[in-house]
Amino acid sequence: MLIVMLALGACQQSNPNFQEDVSNPEFFHRSMKQLSDVIVHDIFSPPVASRIYGYSSIAAYEAALPAFSDYQSLAGQLNGLEAVPQPEEGKTYCFPLAGIHAFLKVGKALTFSEDKMEAYQEELYATLDSLGIPGDVWDRSLAYGEEVAGHILAWANKDMYKETRTYPKYSISEDPARWQPTPPDYMDGIEPHWQKIRTMVLDSAQQFTPPPPTAFSLDKESKFMAETMEVYDALNASAPEEREERVAIAKFWDCNPYVSHHTGHVMFATKKITPGGHWIGITQIACRKAGADFMKTLEAYTLTSIALFDGFISCWDEKYRSNLIRPETVINRYIDESWTPTLQTPPFPEYTSGHSVISRAAAVALTSVFGDNFSFLDTTEEEYGLPAREFGSFLAASSEAAVSRLYGGIHYRPAIDNGVAQGEKVGDFVVKHVQLRQQMSNK
Residue 354's pLDDT band, with cuts at 50, 70 and 90, is very high
One-letter-per-residue 3-state SS of 149-180 = HHHHHHHHCCCCHHHHCCCCCCCCCCCCCECC
**Residue 290 and residue 326: Cα distance in Å, rounded?**
40
Residue 441's pLDDT band, with cuts at 50, 70 and 90, is very low
Q: At what angle do helices 135-156 and 46-64 cross, to 10 degrees?
A: 140
Q: Is 300's pLDDT higher than 50?
A: yes
Residue 430's pLDDT is what? 99
Residue 14's pLDDT is what? 79
Cα angle for residues 311, 312, 317 (degrees, 5° grid): 105
Q: Is 443's pLDDT higher than 90?
A: no
Higher-confidence position of 409 and 258? 409
What would the pLDDT profile of 53-64 be if each residue is shown by its tens digit? 999 999 999 999
Q: CATH classification of 174-196+199-433 is 1.10.606.20, yes or no?
A: yes
Q: Is 439's pLDDT higher than 60?
A: yes
Q: Which residues contact 157 (CB under 8 A, 6 or more apart)?
A: none
| CATH 1.10.606.20 boundaries in the chain | 2-159, 174-196+199-433
Q: Which residues contact 263 (CB under 8 A, 6 or more apart)?
A: none
Question: Could you say which of 1.10.10.10, 2.40.110.10, 3.40.50.720, 1.10.606.20 is the CATH number of the domain covering 2-159?
Answer: 1.10.606.20
Regarding beta strands 266-270 and 376-378, do their DSSP bridges make them parallel or antiparallel, or are they unpaired?
unpaired
As a whole number of Å, the end-to-end CA separation of the chain is 38
Work out the average pLDDT over 365-369.
99
Q: Is 2's pLDDT higher than 70?
A: no
Question: For 288, what's the count of Cα atoms within 13 Å in the CB-facing half-sphere?
Answer: 15
**Residue 263 and residue 182: Cα distance in Å, rounded?**
17
**Residue 204 and residue 206: Cα distance in Å, rounded?**
5
Average pLDDT, the chain: 95
Residue 249's pLDDT is what? 98
Work out the average pLDDT over 243-265.
85
Residue 264's pLDDT is what? 66
Q: Is 78's pLDDT higher than 80?
A: yes
Residue 266's pLDDT is what? 63
Global confidence as pTM: 0.95
**Residue 408 and residue 404: Cα distance in Å, rounded?**
6
**Residue 427 and residue 269: Cα distance in Å, rounded?**
33
**Residue 427 and residue 425: Cα distance in Å, rounded?**
5
Residue 157's pLDDT is what? 99
Higher-confidence position of 256 and 79? 79
3-state DSSP assignment of residue 343: coil
Identify the H or E element spanning 43. none
Q: What percent of the chain has pLDDT over 70?
A: 93
Residue 270's pLDDT band, with cuts at 50, 70 and 90, is confident
Work out the average pLDDT over 86-94.
98
Residue 429's pLDDT is what? 99
- The total of other beta-carbon atoms located within 10 Å of residue 52's CB is 26
Q: Is 242's pLDDT higher than 80?
A: yes
